[in-house]
Amino acid sequence: MDLMAMVLGSAVLVAGSLGIGVVVHLIGIGRIAPSAWLGLPGGRLRTDAPTYRGTHRAATPLTWLGSTIAAVAAFGSLVAALQAGAKEWAILAVLAAVVLAIGLTLATWRAHTALGDDALRDDRAAD
């Protein structure tokens, strides 16, 4: 496999993993307005601004956990691409992608379960 493609793929995976964590965090603290293009999937998470903010705030810890572990694995794949070779790179790159997918699935589940949380209702009442 071409070394440049492996390095580029790993770098995109590192940046994408951390970028997802940052975006969900910023949505959770209200720095990013409700958007159809940004955030976790689900129409019920976007019914109004307080719901959008509250559900993403609830999902932030799982998002950070998954995206950070994925970024570390992706960085390992970058190092492996430069030093070890294609087999090691592939294992770590796939691990990073799987961890990110599982982490985002759990974070989305947490966001949807937060729809029934009392804290979310209190947040809507404050706005």
Sorted by where each begins, the domain ranges of the chain are 13-34+44-126
pLDDT at residue number 2: 87
Provide the pLDDT for residue 119: 62
72 CB-near residues (< 8 Å, 6+ apart): none
What is the residue-averaged pLDDT of the chain?
91
Instruction: Report the alpha-carbon distance of residue 59 to residue 19 in Å, rounded.
Output: 15
Report the pLDDT value the prediction gives residue 121, as an integer from 0 to 100.
59
Q: Residue 1: is its pLDDT beyond 80?
A: no
Q: What is the pLDDT of residues 87-100, one digit of tens each?
A: 889 999 999 999 99
pLDDT tens figures, 50-82: 999 999 999 999 999 999 999 999 999 999 988
> At 35, which helix (H) or strand (E)?
none
Identify which of 89, 86, 33, 80 has the alpha carbon closest to the alpha carbon of residue 56.
Answer: 33
- Would you state the pLDDT for residue 40? 93
Task: Tell which residue, 108, 114, 104, has the closest CA to residue 51.
Answer: 114
Q: What percentage of the chain reaches a pLDDT higher than 90?
A: 73
Contact status, residue 38 vs residue 32, Cβ threshold 8 Å:
yes
Report CA 53 to chain centroid distance, whole Å: 15
Asked if residues 20 and 67 have their Cβ atoms less than 8 Å apart, the reply is: yes
- Tokens for 69, please give them: 């572990």
pLDDT digits (tens, 9 = 90+) for 20-49: 999 999 999 999 999 889 999 988 998 899
Q: pTM, whole model, 2 decimals?
A: 0.86
Closest by CA position to 60, among listed 104, 102, 16: 104
